[in-house]
Amino acid sequence: LYLKSDAKKGWKKYHFVLRPSGLYYSPKDKVKTLKELVCLATFDTNEVYIGLNWKKKYKSPTDFCFAIKHPRLQQPKSVKFIKFLCADDQRTLERWVTAMRIAKHGRQLLENYRSLVEELTQEDLDHLAHARSCSITSIPTKTNGNVATGVNSPAQSTSSSASVANSDISSGRHSRASSSSSSGCLSDGGTASESAFDCEFPMGTIKRKPSMKPNIPLTWMTRQLKE
């Protein structure tokens, strides 16, 4: 990576090593021991930020730049506390930035990933259960076979027969009442001799019963019948 020098305001290329505690680099071309590495910045309080248009503003070698600084530090008063770095290409920039963010927030990122997977799994299960319930409710329910086929049950047949019989009886009574009313009397179901003469009507009725042995006038025909 290229590191911006504060003194010369230029960029110089160094070999960098990433550790969980921070970013280290070697001021010399050859490093014999790890003790020769110099800590450029730690990740306890610092964050990584992507730089834009630094090639024009800071004369960086490429446009693939990033910085390590405290979140509260702002330019231009705190430039000396900000570490400016530059990569050769976009892929190298993404690798370094991603690795540094994992080194700082690795545990939290892992927990967020696991919680997201659990939420997605639960959502998939809920969606599957909802789809299954919808498919079950969409199945048409079976209706009563008697209603669908038009066949009545024995109880229904008995009730229907009784209703028909009652209607016939009522029809018979109505017809007899009609015939009786047309003849001038009402029928109560008594004998034939009493039904026609027990009724009291104001007009057009016979007040007394005729004799059971009427006096037939004597004629040639009645004499033959009498003999």
> Residue 60: which CATH number?
2.30.29.30
| 146's tokens | 């008697």
Q: What is the pLDDT of residues 177-207, one digit of tens each?
A: 444 444 444 444 444 444 444 455 555 555 5
| Residue 49 covered by a domain | yes
Helix (H) or strand (E) holding 38: strand 38-42
Q: What is the pLDDT of residues 132-185, one digit of tens each?
A: 777 666 665 555 544 444 445 444 544 555 454 455 545 554 444 444 444 444
Q: Which residues contact 33 (CB under 8 A, 6 or more apart)?
A: none
Query: What is the predicted pLDDT for the residue at 66?
Result: 95
| Residue 45 covered by a domain | yes
| Residue 203 covered by a domain | no
Name the H helices within 138-184.
145-149, 154-183
Query: What is the predicted pLDDT for the residue at 178?
Result: 47
**What CA–CA distance (Å, rounded) separates 162 from 152?**
14
| Residue 126 covered by a domain | no
| Residue 115 covered by a domain | no
| Residue 22 covered by a domain | yes
| Residue 59 covered by a domain | yes
Q: Look at 28-37, 85-94, 100-109 and tell me which has the smallest mean pLDDT.
A: 28-37
Residue 59: which region, alpha, beta or left (left: phi > 0; alpha: psi -120 to 50)?
Answer: left
| Residue 208 covered by a domain | no
**What CA–CA distance (Å, rounded) separates 23 from 91?**
19
Query: What is the predicted pLDDT for the residue at 192?
Result: 46
For the chain, what is the domain count? 1
Q: Give me the domain span that covers residue 88.
A: 2-105
Query: What is the predicted pLDDT for the residue at 25?
Result: 92
